Structure 1
Amino acid sequence: MDAFRAHGFFVVRAFLDVAERAELRRACDAALLHARAHSLETGHSTPRISLLTDGATCAEDDPGAFERIAVFVGSGRVCELLAGLSRPREEETPRLKDAHYYHEQTRRDWDGDWHRDSQFGQPDPEIERAVVATTTAVHFRVALEDDDRLEIVPGSHARWDTADELRIRRGADRTTPDMPNAARVALRAGDACVFHAWSIHRATYRRAPVRRTIDALYAFARPAVRRWPSQAT
C-alpha cells in the first residue's frame, strides 16, 4: 500500500508459478484463437481482446476456458492485492469492470498514446480532474510471457498534470517518447503488477516478441444509480 500511495503501482514477483501460468495461458489463448478465427480485426490489428466477451464466446470451443478466467480475476488471491487501495468514502470491495488479454498484433507496430483512463468519456478536463481527485480504479495484470511494454509516470495518480504532461496527453503529440519522468515497468513471466488507472501511462505495441498479459480493471467508486421519477397511477 505504501508503494501504491507513493508511486501509483507495485509489482509482485513470481505471483504465478509455471503450472499456474500455463493453465491460465491455455484458457486465455483459447479466447484469442477464437477471436482471431472469427474477425479480421480483433486479435490481429488490435493489441487486446476482451476476455469477458471473447472468453465467453469461445466456450463453444473450450467450455472450461471462460470459467478458468472468471475464477482467476474474481479470486481471493487477486482481490487480496487490492485490499486497502480505495479512498475513505469509496466501497472497500472492488467491482470488476472488464478483463483484457494483451497480445502481439499481427499486422503493424505502433506506439500507444499517453493517457489517464479517467479521460475516456470525459472531454472536459475539469470534470476529469474531479474524477482523478475523488475516485479510484486499478489495473491488475499478470504477465504470462515477459512483458516490458508498460510505461508510467510514478506519482501522477495522486495529482493533476503538469503543463508539459497535459500538453502531451491532450495534445497532438500523444505518442512522444519524451514524457517527463516516465518509467518502464518490466515484468517477467509470472510477475503481477497493480497500478492506478488514473496514472499517466501508455504501452508500445509490437508484432514481436510474443505478448501474453492478462489485465483486469476494478473500480471502488460507488456505481451510479439512475432513479426514475415516480409516476402517478
Structure 2
Amino acid sequence: MIAEQNGSNQPRVLVVDDEIAIRRFLHTILTAEGFTLHEAETGHAGLAAAAAFRPDLILLDLGLPDLDGIEVVKRIREWSPVPIIVLSVRDREDDKVTALDLGADDYLTKPFGTSELLARIRAAIRRSIQQAPDPVFVSGDLQVDLNLRRVSAQGREVQLTPTEYDLLRLLVTHAGKVLTHNQLLKQIWGAAYGEQPHVLRVTISNLRRKIETDASQPRHIITEPGVGYRLRCTN
C-alpha cells in the first residue's frame, strides 16, 4: 500500500517501513515540521513510490517483508541520487557499512531522537540541492577555503600535507554525512588501499592533532565506530 498526504511545495519525504507505529510517529513529527509525507509498507511499494512521487528524501527500514532494505538502496541507486536515510533496529557494523557503501546517505539505529532525525533529514536535503560546496567552509573554529586551499583552526593557519588536505576536503564536500572507511580509502588512496584501514586511521589522527583543540575529544571529525567518519557541521 502507498499512502500520500496532501502538501504543497514543502519537501517530500517517502517513508518505507512496515511498522505502523513507526509510520504514525514519523507522520506526526514530519508533518508538524512542514514536510509532505508519502508512505509505503513494503520494498516493492517503496520502489514504486520513489519512481512515482520523486521524493526529496527517503526514510528506509531494512527489515521489510518482501525485499531487504539494502536491496532497495541498491535498486534506487541504479537510477536516482535521492538522499536515503536508513532507520533500522539493526545495529551491526556490517549492515551499516553495506548500506552506506551501496549509496545510503545516513544510518540511524532505532530508537532514535526526534531532534537528531530532523537534523539528519535537513542536512541530507541541503546537501542534495547544493550544486557545489561553498568556497569557504566554516564550522565552529574550523575554516577551510577550498579555492585557496587554506585551512585555519582556533584562529591560526594550519599546514597540512597534500594527503591530509585531500582527506579534509572530501569530508568538507560531504559535511554532515558519514563516509565509510572503504569510501575514504578508495577516493583518497585508490582501490588498492581498500584493505589497509591503518593508513586512514593515521591520517585522521594527524588531521585531528592539527585542527582539533583536543585531539582525544574531537569536535570536528567524528568517529562512527566500525563504519567511518563524519565532519560535523556547527554554526
Using the size of structure 2 for normalisation, the TM-score is 0.24
Task: Select the structure that is richer in helix.
Answer: 2
Using the size of structure 1 for normalisation, the TM-score is 0.24
